Amino acid sequence: MSRSVPLAVTPEVLPGMAEALEAAGATLVEPSDADALVWTSPGQPDRLAALLEPRHRWVALVIAGVERWLASGVVDDARTWTCARGVYADGVAEHALALLLAAARRLPAYARAQTWRQLDTERLRGETVTILGAGAIGRRLAELLAPLGVRLVAVTRHGDRLPGFDRTYPSSALGEALPSTRYLVLTAALTDETRGIVDGAVLDALGPRGALVNVARGELVDTGALVERLRDGRLGAALLDVTDPEPLPDGHPLWALDNVLITPHVANPNAGNPWDSHLAELLEHLAGNVSAFAEGRPLAGTIDLTAGY
């Protein structure tokens, strides 16, 4: 039998959140009286740390990428921490698809053109798209791509076979996936193991007909190596929603290259908060975890301190 969960929502209660959480079995209380916290700011780990008490057995973050929270030291093993992993998958996958189509149709160059000229363009059908980090975003992207007739390859931590993919490789064998890859899409979490995983050797393996799409984190890529290969034609194109550094400074070499398309970290459509376009999904995720917490079941989106996400 489930029980009522004393739960605090702070620093603000999002629209519809109180009703959704109460319907799932929560009783909204002050942080000092709560067994669980929902932290509704995308940042401010120091402010959250100041609120934490031993009685808080579960803390829910409303963001999906948690590397900066882990680096802050506030995420501990004294309680269960969850993030909104998978909540924003639809929006980010849609953006990744848009960037892939832009690469195939040479939109970066066409957007800069000041005279009428035709470039070689292509369809995605028949090409190999390799998705590095086939979590919720990568799997959703694979679903969107399937009707377009591409060959889908996944690269994951362990390389376990995944439905919907023609082949899966472990990240340690990334190089084996690249010779046939035309488009490499990054949807992986940023961890110690994945930082800089797309280095010069990976970019060389993609080659002059290959394109890199990054909707994950800029630090997955060696930016210096990327610029060099885009400049001299060793890599065909890069379509980036995230960069390293970020924001990308004015005057950075990436801005001037006609085989580059940059969007300013907007793969998850929002007006300043990550949940704006996915509030219904976020509330469903949190409500499901309230019910699970009340019944002693595993929580969705649990942060793994060892894995780093």
- Write out the catalytic residue numbers: 217, 246, 265
The answer to whether the CB of 262 falls within 8 A of the CB of 271 is no
Beta bridge partners of 80: 58
DSSP summary character for residue 230 = H
| Composition of the chain by helix, strand, coil, percent to 5 | 35, 15, 50
Q: What count of other Cβ atoms lies within 10 Å of the Cβ of residue 161? A: 9
* Residue 78 Cα distances to 32, 55, 232, angstroms: 17, 10, 51
The answer to whether the CB of 61 falls within 8 A of the CB of 275 is no
The answer to whether the CB of 146 falls within 8 A of the CB of 131 is no
* Residue 88 Cα distances to 27, 135, 258, angstroms: 26, 12, 30
